[in-house]
Amino acid sequence: MARAVFFDRDGTLIKDVHYLKDAADIKIIDGVAEALNEIKKAGFLMFMHTNQSGIARGYYDWGDVHSCNRRMLELYNLSPDFWDGICIAPESPDADEVGYRKPSQKYELEMTKKYNLDPSLCWMVGDKWIDVETGLKSKMNAALVRSGKEINSEIENLASIEKIPICDDILSFYNSCILKI
């Protein structure tokens, strides 16, 4: 069975910019490119799952998100087909129907089926607790990174109860977590 890592985007792969619309505003995080290359080389399928309620709210459109995703890969010197899959969840948090917006695990379950993933060998990593919830609901491992939204003591407590590692950033996640399962 295959294994995979699902990455959040904002605050995890790039710095968190409030409703990022313009690719010119992307700020990279040190070590991300190196970590992504190493994780892929280690044989993990690579997915990105990003909540973009700015689409539902009309702050930006799909084209803006695709442009930012492309630019991020360029800035990290990664090939345009680096990802095995990308999920952009456009829904607003108060949408009536459950879609792809995290903590919905709809995307993870679809990819698990499509690629015959073993969830116990997979990771979901992000800067918010909703990322962790998405991983846990998918029966995957989950980790938090401190490169985005502040991780307060309440989240630290939750992480400790659920045995969720908290890493400084994606490079630290690669060095300390990913091969330890």
Cβ–Cβ < 8 Å for 90, 51:
no
96 vs 154, which CB is nearer to Mg ion?
Answer: 154
Judged by CB under 5 A, the number of residues near Mg ion is 5
How far apart CA 88 and CA 141 sit, in angstroms, is 21
Task: Report the site for Mg ion in 36-75 (rule: CB under 5 A).
Answer: none
Shortest-Cβ-distance residue relative to Mg ion: 11
In this structure, the number of other CB atoms found within 10 A of the CB of residue 23 comes to 17
59 vs 115, which CB is nearer to Mg ion?
Answer: 59
Cβ–Cβ < 8 Å for 142, 125:
yes
Q: Does 169 bind Mg ion (CB under 5 A)?
A: no
Q: Does 10 bind Mg ion (CB under 5 A)?
A: yes
26 three-class SS: coil
- Is 22 annotated in the active site? no
State the nearest-atom distance from the C-beta of 56 to Mg ion, in Å.
17
- Is 10 annotated in the active site? yes
Residue 139 carries which side chain, given as an amino acid letter? K
DSSP codes joined into one string, 64-94: HHHHHHHHHHHHTT--TT--SEEEEE---TT
Q: Does 11 bind Mg ion (CB under 5 A)?
A: yes
Show the tokens assigned to 29.
């995080």
33 vs 48, which CB is nearer to Mg ion?
Answer: 48
Task: Report the site for Mg ion in 127-156 (rule: CB under 5 A).
Answer: 127, 148
Cβ–Cβ < 8 Å for 122, 140:
yes
- Which of the ranges 27-35, 60-68, 108-116, 125-133 carries the binding residues for Mg ion, by CB under 5 A? 125-133
The dihedrals phi and psi of 165, each to the nearest 5 degrees, come to -65, 145
33 vs 89, which CB is nearer to Mg ion?
Answer: 89
Q: Using the rule CB under 5 A, which residue among 4, 8, 47, 105 binds Mg ion?
A: 8
Instruction: List, by residue number, the catalytic residues.
Output: 8, 10
> Which residues contact Mg ion by CB under 5 A?
8, 10-11, 127, 148
